[in-house]
Copies of this chain bind each other. A is one copy, B any other.
Amino acid sequence: MKNIRTQLKRFQYFYPYTVALVGASVGGQVNFMSCAWHTALSFDPPLFGVLVSRKRFSHGIISKAREFTVNFLSFERVKLSAQMGRKSGHDLDKVKEFKLRLARSKVIQSPIVEEAYVSFECRLAEVRAYGDHDLFVGEVLAVHEEPGCFNAEGILNPGKVRPLLYLGSDFYLTVDQDTLKHVLPD
């Protein structure tokens, strides 16, 4: 028998989700935040969506910049994820405080994060409110990937990179590369 809950005070049964640093720069300000609520939206055109609370400092930055980058972290960067997720750009300059290493994008003005194993440059296509978060829809204009982390088809190589997974309430873990398998329906 399963437990049934209809009072959903803490709705977080959907984890684990990978963690990305999401942010932008505009008018001399730059900010990134940890983000686990994200999804691919479309292959063609390539669209990627990130959820950002309206309370977040990054919400204003991305809205003004009309662009953002998405930067996926490996398990070794778990401390950085905690810092960029639990501290706010309202209170401190997180880039300076946590010594985030930024690099130039190829197409847009906002930087990517060097510590990431893969980064997306996105042009903001739409912002839409869903409950207490806004969905920022990005058209993916460029991908920067650490050599060896993906094969020629763009499939992640878990022998080379261990993606950071979030479980909610500051819990993290990563994948077990020994369980990798290719499965067809027969």
Interface residues of A, Cβ cutoff 8 Å to B: 1-6, 8, 10-18, 37-49, 51, 72, 75, 78-79, 81-83, 85-87, 106-107, 118-120, 128, 130-133, 135, 137, 140-147, 150, 153-156, 158, 163, 165, 167-177, 179-186
Q: Judging by beta carbons under 8 Å apart, are B163 and A183 in contact?
A: no
> Of B81, B143, B174, which one neighbours A8 at CB under 8 angstroms?
B143
Q: In the complex, are the beta carbons of A173 and B182 less than 8 A apart?
A: no
Which residues of the other chain, B, contact A153 by a CB distance below 8 angstroms? 10, 12, 168-169
C-alpha spacing A87/B180, complex, angstroms: 22
Does the CB pair B13–A132 fall under 8 Å?
Answer: no
This chain: how many copies in the complex? Answer: 2
Are B46 and A37 neighbours in the complex by a CB distance under 8 Å? no
Q: How far is the CA of A140 from the CA of B38 in the complex (A)?
A: 18
Could you tell me if A42 and B130 are in contact, using CB atoms closer than 8 angstroms? yes
In the complex, besides A16-B156, A85-B185, A158-B167, 9 extra interface pairs with C-beta distance below 8 angstroms are A2-B119, A5-B143, A11-B46, A14-B48, A47-B131, A155-B171, A156-B168, A171-B181, A174-B179
State whether A44 touches B12 (Cβ < 8 A). Answer: no
In the assembled complex, 21 residue pairs joining A and B whose CB atoms fall closer than 8 Å, in A order, are A6-B106, A6-B142, A12-B153, A14-B39, A15-B156, A38-B39, A39-B49, A40-B51, A42-B131, A42-B133, A82-B183, A82-B184, A83-B186, A128-B128, A153-B168, A156-B167, A170-B183, A172-B181, A173-B181, A174-B179, A175-B175
